[in-house]
Amino acid sequence: MANFKANRTEEDILREMTAILRELKDPRIDPMLTVVRAELSRDLSDCKIFVSSLSGKDAAKESCKGLDSAAGYIRRELLHRLKIRRSPVLHFVADDSIAHSAEIDRMLHQIQPAVEDIPEDDSTEKE
């Protein structure tokens, strides 16, 4: 059976984490950092938060260090914003999914011919 409360709480944590990241003033946290997903344990006690940066995986790893040092503040903010009884222990994981998707997009644009290069066929138009 699916745990609907955990799924709903994951979405809430994802939304609030994005807002909290914009408020943090730590210089180690990359300004182009994005929260990719949150995985909450079944008992709602642990939460893995996957973050990715446009600057690369190294910047995301450095940002995770800054987020780890601010974990207490982030937990308190989540507790107040979500109005939950207990705030989960947060674990920040660097992810390179944004860079990976940009690489796939670049490869697809190399494969696909440009729209201007495709000749228009006037014989299909009938007046």
pLDDT by residue, tens only, the chain of 127 residues: 357 888 888 899 999 999 999 999 989 998 888 999 999 988 889 999 999 988 888 889 999 999 999 999 999 999 999 988 888 999 999 988 777 788 888 888 888 765 555 566 655 555 5
Helix axes 71-82, 57-69, angle to 10 degrees: 80
- Kindly state whether residue 125 falls inside one of the protein's structural domains: no
pTM for this model (two decimals): 0.76
| Residue 123 within any structural domain of the chain | no
Query: Is residue 71 in a domain?
Result: yes
User: Is residue 127, in this structure, part of any structural domain at all?
Assistant: no
Give the C-alpha separation, 6 to 54, whole Å: 29
Report if residue 119 sits inside a domain. Answer: no
Does a structural domain hold residue 120? no
State pLDDT tens for residues 45-58.
Answer: 999 999 998 888 88
In the Cβ-directed half-sphere of 19, how many Cα atoms lie within 13 Å?
A: 10
- Given a contact cutoff of 8 angstroms between Cβ atoms, the answer to whether 42 and 6 are in contact is yes
Is 24 inside a domain boundary?
Answer: yes
- The range of the structural domain enclosing residue 64 comes to 4-114
CATH code assigned at 80: 3.30.300.20
Residue 11 located in a structural domain: yes
Closest to 10 (Cα-Cα) out of 31, 41, 33: 41
Provide the domain count of the chain: 1
